[in-house]
Chain A
């Protein structure tokens, strides 16, 4: 069957296809920003570090050892640094993913497919919970449901009802799941509503004609069509929650509810990175398993090409009497997930004493006060504080450059992956670009610190530069933009590009005139996600920022730790405001570029 061909010309033909060239360039980039750090992580887990001389008298820095693996998997510590945190991580992540998927997809369906009132407003508001940093939700929960386990003043709930909230309501599993679900459902909402709006509702109507009930249509037609979007939002949420640090830290630690992410964080910040890396491997293994299962499932059902250059219609399902009860539910969700935490946090910035909400102690000191040694160790209010304003500028610069670069790379990744579907090269690009998603932020940051504080290959020592901080954000967020563009490109269908190819257009023209305009929507939604994520990024960059490159988040974390609630809250408010502006702005941008 196979004849031998002149291999050179075959190679020439191979290389001639633009997506192959792009894939190869992407692989080279990914090698440096993803694969090498990952390899370093593996290596370091087998090597004695200098600090290990404290752990074992036998430590020979630089030499091979299984010590760290034994420490994690079979030592007196195993139960507490691996087994229990692992169990907690799994239960919280699964529960959060399920809840977030349920809330997000129901909301997406209501907005995209029904006649619920104020759809545009709901769509705008629905992403706000994600805009609010998740630890704000955690802190709000504490303010509401704090019991006297950790001492101090009781929460509002106890104050109002006189009932002491039990531990399971105040800390641990339940609050972590509730607050993170509230935080992450916009993920599903965005992905599923994008999928829903691109499904021709004739597909659903045809089901209706066949006499299927509405729930039947939802279950048998709509659901399978949005299944790919649902599954990818499940994966994104799952691995995101698995790596989340802040919320489990605030809500779990008081009852010693540790998760793998909090263990990784504490091992790395305590300068035992090797153990942190091994725990990170455990996380990665879990996420990979989930993705593998997902791919098996998606592989069976086809991925649907739904936009094919022909028009389609969207018809709204009338909700009838359910319209207003459902709207009320949405309003309630909005109040709990956005208004309440925001009110609490703004109020906190105005309180002269932390935790004292009485009206006569309200002040604008922490916003516009001049440097005054009597308060906050002599720091000026956030709007007058050059260090904070500098950090704000850093944050904006970082979020913009990282999201632009990630969006740009994402378009190429999306193109290479979709165009080369079912080829090894394309799946390599896809998998490599997805890898950073699995690596917990703090571990990824630690790896970049270890790697880029020396010159390495053609790359000079980057530690201390803004570029390095941006680079780690780009690498970590590539899966966002990559996925977003892949999703939108899959829906575009490759025929639109092929049509221009048969008309004689070169690749550059096809890219400019066809691919870019059609995938820009996906790239922009990826861009927005990255912008928001980087604005709120903490664990990823905390080890990499220097005083010159520090961001609002690193400052607010520090203030929070030191107990300057007003400052940390004020900076959090700044973050939220910037993110909302960024979101609105990109919405405008998206409209201009939209079809």
Chain B
């Protein structure tokens, strides 16, 4: 609890500090609230169950508007919105999900969803996070290790995961199930030159590509799979598999950086993120908010969007995401305590265009080489 209080105080301090900047745009909160109140409720499809947290604080802040939060997988949200649009049975007002490339290509480009950036935030969010759809936060997928058994991060390079020492002891979340890991894999392939350079740095020689393999990025995936990697269906099971205490020989694994928050819920989890791995510690992906066309509660949706982005007037709509591993897009909000800023981490940022065009091929490669 003390931690939450300190986070809150820090947050409000930061928000107050940035007040002067935020006043630039014109955002008529009262007018939007009155319009939203007439609508009475708002339906949000969310990729994460934290929707219930900010939903509660929103309801407290704006009495008379009920938040119906629905928690489902990102591809499921896309499928549902497509079906609702085609059946003209509009349920979702606003969607909050991962996999921006699919959302942009399948929904935004077909004009089934639109972008909304609260006017007062335009100056506070870099353009790359405002267009084509508003980014709520960036999240990072990185490698975690058991810090009860291991005093320091056991590896220095991604390539070490492909060595015999880690055979059967590397966990990777299932990209067939979680789209963000398609983004991670595609991004590694996109940066294959850097992967090749890192290989040379680690092993002192040029990488020899296996037959039929295009580049060092694919080669890494290939070798990882050949090293008896374990594939799990969710990020929290990775955190558990790596982090539970009293393990004789714990594995390492890729998971969401923000899984660090699981340690609060379960004191038996002992793990940390490796922050010094070459060429990168992980990949940053984005979580976006989009307004659904023909929504029944458009104003409430906008008000909720604004609330989710955080508020300088002491509100805490962003609070559930103000945790280690999630990185705010607002320039006026610093990284949470103990965390670094996104720019300070050795990361690659997933490129939605590249992911849309090549992600499926990378996934095919993955599936074809599963053992």
A308 at the interface (CB under 8 A from B): no
A582 at the interface (CB under 8 A from B): no
**Taking A54-B359, A150-B241, A270-B75 as contacts, is the C-beta distance between A373 and B266 under 8 angstroms?**
no
B2 at the interface (CB under 8 A from A): no
Contact pick for B76, options A50, A54, A151, A543, CB 8 Å: A543
CB distance from A261 to the nearest CB of B (A): 14
CB distance from A454 to the nearest CB of B (A): 6
Mark interface residues in B81-92 (1 if CB within 8 Å of A CB, else 0). Answer: 011101111010
**Taking A80-B368, A254-B232 as contacts, is the C-beta distance between A269 and B244 under 8 angstroms?**
no
Give residues of chain B (41-62) contacting chain A, Cβ–Cβ below 8 Å: 43, 45, 49-50, 52-53, 56
B32 at the interface (CB under 8 A from A): no
Q: Which residue of B lies closest to A71 (CB)?
A: B364
Contact pick for B73, options A55, A269, A373, A464, CB 8 Å: A269
Interface size class of B (residues with CB under 8 A): 35 or more
Mark interface residues in A457-469 (1 if CB within 8 Å of B CB, else 0). Answer: 0000111110000
- The answer to whether A150 touches B91 (Cβ under 8 A) is no
**Taking A54-B356, A150-B241 as contacts, is the C-beta distance between A271 and B75 under 8 angstroms?**
yes
Q: Which residue of A lies closest to B72 (CB)?
A: A558
CB distance from A146 to the nearest CB of B (A): 10
B209 at the interface (CB under 8 A from A): no
How many Å lie between the Cα of A254 and that of B316 in the bound state?
39
Contact pick for A563, options B68, B84, B234, B368, CB 8 Å: B234
How many Å lie between the Cα of A154 and that of B267 in the bound state?
17
CB distance from B234 to the nearest CB of A (A): 5
Give residues of chain B (207-264) contacting chain A, Cβ–Cβ below 8 Å: 230-234, 236-237, 240-242, 244, 246-251, 253, 262
- The answer to whether A547 touches B232 (Cβ under 8 A) is no
**Taking A453-B83, A463-B86, A464-B89 as contacts, is the C-beta distance between A377 and B359 under 8 angstroms?**
no
Q: Interface size (A, Cβ < 8 Å)?
A: 57
How many Å lie between the Cα of A568 and that of B360 in the bound state?
32
CB distance from A134 to the nearest CB of B (A): 17
How many Å lie between the Cα of A149 and that of B86 in the bound state?
45
Give residues of chain A (15-50) contacting chain B, Cβ–Cβ below 8 Å: 50
Give residues of chain A (74-129) contacting chain B, Cβ–Cβ below 8 Å: 75-77, 79-81
Residues of A within 8 A of B106 (CB): 50-51
B79 at the interface (CB under 8 A from A): yes
B111 at the interface (CB under 8 A from A): no
- The answer to whether B75 touches A269 (Cβ under 8 A) is yes
A166 at the interface (CB under 8 A from B): no
Q: Name the 7 nearest CB pairs between A and B, nearest first.
A: A151-B241, A464-B89, A563-B236, A463-B87, A461-B87, A76-B368, A54-B360
Beyond A51-B106, A54-B359: 10 further Cβ-contacts under 8 Å? A54-B357, A80-B367, A80-B370, A254-B230, A254-B232, A355-B266, A464-B89, A547-B43, A547-B91, A563-B234
- Show the binding face of A for B, using Cβ within 8 Å: 50-51, 54-55, 75-77, 79-81, 148-153, 249, 253-254, 256, 258, 266, 269-271, 353-356, 371, 373-379, 449, 452-454, 461-465, 542-543, 546-548, 550, 558, 561-564
